[in-house]
Amino acid sequence: MRPHRRTLLASSLLGIVIALPALGQEAAVTYPLPCDAAKVTKGDVERAHTVFLSGKQYLEESNYDKAISYFNDAYAIDCSIHAILPIIATAYERKGDKGEAIRALEEYLRRAPSAPDHEVIERRIKNLKDQLAHEPPPTPAPGIPSASAAAAPGPSAEPVPAAPVPSVSPAATSAAAAGTAEPHHSAGPWIVAGTGGAVFLAGAGVWLAGTLQVSSASSSCPTRANCAASVVSKGNDGRTLIDVGYAVGGGGLAILGAGLIWHFIEGDSAQRSASTGATHATPVIAPGFAGVAITGSL
C-alpha cells in the first residue's frame, strides 16, 4: 500500500473513533428566536393554532415525541406565543425527560419575564430538579464492569476465608420484615393528581386559545383605534378565554397538589405504622461473633 493511502486510511479511522462517542447523544433542542406578536401575520397565527391542536391531540394519546414535534412547529410558526414552552415542558416531563422539561421552563422564564405564572413555573423547576437529584444512577452498559466488580480480587489473589454466618431466630426475621416493609399507597391520590393534571392542561389549552385570539385581533387592528366590531369582539372573547384558562388551570394545580400531598401523607403514615409494629429481637450469639441483633427503628 502506498504511503499516502496509508495516511488517508489512518486519518479516516481516527475520524471514526472521534465521532463514535457523539453518536449516542441527542442534540439539544433549540427553540426559535422570540419575536413580537405584531410581526406575526394572521395566517401564521391561525396555522400555528391548528398545528398546536394536533400536538395537543398527540399529548392526550401519550404520543409524546409527536406532541413535542408539533408544539415546536407551532412555536416556530408563531414565535410570539412563549406560553407554549410550559406545555412543551409538560410533554417532556410525561416522557420522562426531566432535563429538557427544566430547560423549556427556564427558557420560558427568560422569554416572558412579566408573565403572571412565574412563581408556579419556578416551583415546577425546583420540583423537577429535586426529582433528578434523587434518581438512581444509570445502569452500566453491558460489558462494562461496575466499580465493585472491578475491585473484586482476580484469580491470582489469595483466597479470603469465609466468615461464619450468624444464626438468626425466626422472631428476629419477622421483626426485620416488619421494620423494612414498604409503605402501601392506594390509587386514590394518583387519581386525584391525574385529574388535576388533566384540568390544568385543559386550562392551559383554553388560555392559549385566548392568547391566539387576542394576538390575531391585535394583528388585524395594530393601532387599536377605529377597529371593526368583529375584531373588537374577537379580542374581548380572547381575553375572556384567558381569564377562564387562568381559573381552570389554577384549579387544576390545586387538585394536583392535593393529590400529591395525600400521596406523601399516606406513605408517611404507613411507614410509621410499620416501624411502630417492629419488635426488638434478642441478640443471637454465633461462633466468632459477639452477637447479632436485628431491631426496628423509628
Domain boundaries, the chain: 31-132, 170-221+229-282+289-298
CB 34 within 8 A of CB 79: yes
Distances (CA, A) of 91 to 88, 110, 243, 263, 295: 5, 20, 24, 23, 45
pLDDT tens figures, 160-202: 444 443 344 444 434 434 443 445 567 888 787 788 788 889 9
CA 85 to chain centre: 14
State mean pLDDT over 278-284.
38
Instruction: State the pLDDT at residue 140.
Output: 61
Q: How far apart are CA 259 and CA 188, in angstroms?
A: 8
* Phi-psi domain of 58 (left: phi exceeds 0; alpha: psi -120 through 50; beta: other): alpha
Q: How far apart are CA 68 and CA 51, in angstroms?
A: 11
Distances (CA, A) of 29 to 68, 88, 92, 124, 281: 10, 11, 11, 20, 56
pLDDT tens figures, 184-193: 567 888 787 7
Burial string for 80-100 (b: 16+ CB within 10 Å, else e) reads bbbbbbbbbbbbbbebebbeb
pLDDT tens figures, 82-132: 999 999 999 999 999 999 999 999 999 999 999 999 999 999 999 999 999
Q: Could you tell me which CATH number the domain at 31-132 has?
A: 1.25.40.10
State mean pLDDT over 17-23.
42
Which grid coordinates are listed for 82?
412563549
Q: Please list, in sequence order, all residues whose beta carbon lies within 8 angstroms of the beta carbon of residue 141, skipping any fewer than 6 positions away.
A: none
Stated pTM of the model:
0.41
